Amino acid sequence: ELSFKDGLTGVPNRRMLDKVFEEEWMTARRHQQPLSLLVMDIDFFKQYNDCYGHIQGDDCLKQVAQALSSAATRSRDFFARFGGEEFVMLLPETDASAAIKIAERCQQLMMKLQISHQESEVSQLLTISIGLGTIVPTPKDEIVDFVEQVDQALYRAKECGRNRVKTA
């Protein structure tokens, strides 16, 4: 169990994500169903750590992980820590419009936390940027390419001012 759980936040880790992602990808491809992915990054987290210290930074990561994991409500929705201050949510049988609603719920959950962030350039509270993608995988599609597209959407969200959702 420890090998699939993030030691700090207690949510599933990257290793577990890779395993679940592979299974859900194959299922979506077999049944020709949409699969959505959210990649979420805490805005200006390095500055948060520099300002408040690493112990408070760790506590912040735990709070964010708990809040965001509650946005995934169905049994097959999967939330994990991707690494550092990045989190992902894999949403089987979820089209783009439903995924956008979940991404917006994630941002609302962050606002409800009311974590002060005086070093942020976008808000006095901690915020997240989200890249979102939806695919009905075909045999030609590769997971790594899909993740790259969603990651690019995340970077666009950051380039456009952070604290927003951008779709691949």
Q: Which residues form the catalytic set?
A: 85
Q: How far apart are CA 124 and CA 5, in angstroms?
A: 31
20 neighbors 88 (Cβ within 8 angstroms): no
Q: What is the Cα 147 distance to its own chain's centre?
A: 12
Length of the chain: 168
Q: How far apart are CA 151 and CA 147, in angstroms?
A: 6
The residue behind tokens 């915020």 is: 127
Q: How far apart are CA 126 and CA 114, in angstroms?
A: 7
Q: What is the Cα 1 distance to its own chain's centre?
A: 22
The residue behind tokens 């820590």 is: 81
**Assigned token pair, 98:** 């439903």
For helices 14-31 and 143-159, the axis angle rounded to 10 degrees is: 110
